[in-house]
Amino acid sequence: MISYFLKRRVATLVLSVFLLLAPVASSFGERAEFIETARDAVVLVAAESESGGGFGTGFIISPDGLAVTNYHVIHRAKEITIWFYDRDDPKEYAAEVIAIDPIADIALLQLQVREDMIPLQFLETDGDLENMQVGENVIAIGHLLGLNWSVTHGNISSIDRGTRVSPYVKTLQHSAPINKGSSGGPLLNSYGKVIGVNTYVMSDKKRTFGVGYAIRGDYVHDIVIELRENGKVTRASLGVQFAHLHKWSRKKYTEENPGVHFPNTYGLLALDVEEDSWAYKQGLRTFDTVLAIDNSPTNMMENLVKRILSLDPGIKVSLIISRDGEIIHLNYTLKELEFDYLAYYDKGREDSDDEKQ
């Protein structure tokens, strides 16, 4: 059962609902009516684990009670409880994790809801990148700093930011205020479509700068489909860590490895290729520079990922590499991307705990 302390905290939060609707409505005009519906589809997520408990946000995506949130909200959770927006009837409902994609920091929850609550209000994810434009007005709904079901307003600052986890997923940078507790909540455009899942903010010594990041809606759309169909998201990989090779990194590696010749300032430098590794068995060596994959240049990690994302593990690709001043062609078999997400998110939680006052 959820702890008494956690229940008290949730009860206090649910009874203190703050909606900042007036400035948002004026910016979105008549279409701001969707906010009322969207709010009813947003849920408060409480996750309790052996190490304690925490709060985040989620939102319903189908009338049978399927919800999306961030994986880090429910990391190692033993029990998950959700609340809907209802000042007069703040009842709690159980939820079960049915699939996760930790690389994208996405989790799917199945809510155990009453029959009379179906069909639920739900939100649609927007899988069209063309509908995500820099400067576009957006709103975020979530439980930032315990201010439950808060609605904040901003605009999109960039549609092409990386994530803290991997280069396989892109985020939207936006200026709608989000903070602790907003994780997993929807970022919506003026048509009420989810174009992002709010995930983290850029801050310095607990001061935020209106720089929020949301997993981009087109990725969320595809991830949800794959999770529902297959139970997991499978990605291909070369199975090795790379560094971007340019003027300054070449200087750094040359100074650190005086016996190695680095003739290029272009490409991706393979690091720490051990003899028993997948990459070594495919013919790659430490400090090989990958110049192209399937004849497509790989001067940036994004170039490599863009190509690999369209392929499956087991597919062979052609690599052009530079080794000791020589050009070598490799037929390279892709492997499934591996990620020790438990260790990664454990460390993230420890770092977060260190920052608490």
Within the chain, residue ranges assigned H as helices are 4-14, 21-28, 34-41, 217-230, 247-256, 278-281, 301-308, 341-355
| Contact partners, residue 57, CB within 8 Å, separation at least 6 | 42, 43, 44, 45, 69, 73, 141, 142, 143, 181, 182, 183, 184, 185, 198
Q: Which listed residue (105, 126, 218, 288) is catalytic? A: 105
7-33 core/surface letters (b: 16 or more CB in 10 A; e: else): eeebeebbeebebeeeebbeebeeebe
Q: Which listed residue (72, 143, 153, 174) is catalytic? A: 72
Catalytic annotation present for 183: yes
How far apart CA 70 and CA 100 sit, in angstroms, is: 9
CA angle 313, 315, 318 (to 5 degrees): 125
How far apart CA 221 and CA 196 sit, in angstroms, is: 9
Amino acid identity of 9?
Answer: R
Q: Which listed residue (150, 166, 182, 183) is catalytic? A: 183
The residues annotated as belonging to the active site are: 72, 105, 183
